[in-house]
Amino acid sequence: MDVSTTIKKFGLEQAFKYLHKDPEKNMLKLMDWADKFAGDELEAQRKIVREAMTNPEHPYYGYIRHILNDIDPHVMKTTAVNFFINAALAGWPRQEECRKKYGCNIPWTILLDPTSACNLHCTGCW
């Protein structure tokens, strides 16, 4: 991991520590911070996230609160670092490089799809 990625990871970890002190108040402060520094980047997406955070009628309103209040902070932080830092910030340039190098699409995630022959009957699986 290069220095830039390490700094971004540290910043994200600190943001999640701050978020867990008072999720209701601090999630909107973090969105304000993201809006301030992002400028015109991903404006539509940030608007949707803000709507989900503030509108009790939004389908993800309760889901966001469940994540913030019921999931272990370490698990949430690790998931966020893996998604935002490893997959998005650090992973995207590498994906682009591999797309050009190999001349094909490189997905950001891989879905493992067991066949119907599986007999484990795991919860949540088909």
Structural domain boundaries in the chain: 3-102
Write down the residue that tokens 């966001």 correspond to.
Answer: 64
- Is residue 10 over pLDDT 70? yes
- Is residue 111 over pLDDT 80? no
For residues 90 and 63, the model is more confident at: 63
Q: What is the mean pLDDT of residues 84-107?
A: 86
Band the pLDDT of 114: cuts 50, 70, 90. low
| Burial class, 85, CB count within 10 angstroms (exposed 0-12 / middle 13-18 / buried 19+) | buried
Per-residue buried b or exposed e for 14-45, using 16+ beta carbons within 10 Å of the residue's own CB: ebbeebeeebeebbeeebeeeeeeeeeeeeee
Q: What is the mean pLDDT of residues 68-89?
A: 85
For residues 67 and 124, the model is more confident at: 67
Tokens of 72: 């272990």
pTM of the model: 0.62
> Long-range contact list for 41-45, CB < 8 A, 24+ apart?
none
pLDDT score, position 88: 75
Q: What is the mean pLDDT of residues 2-23?
A: 86
How far is 121 from 125, CA to CA, in rounded Å?
7
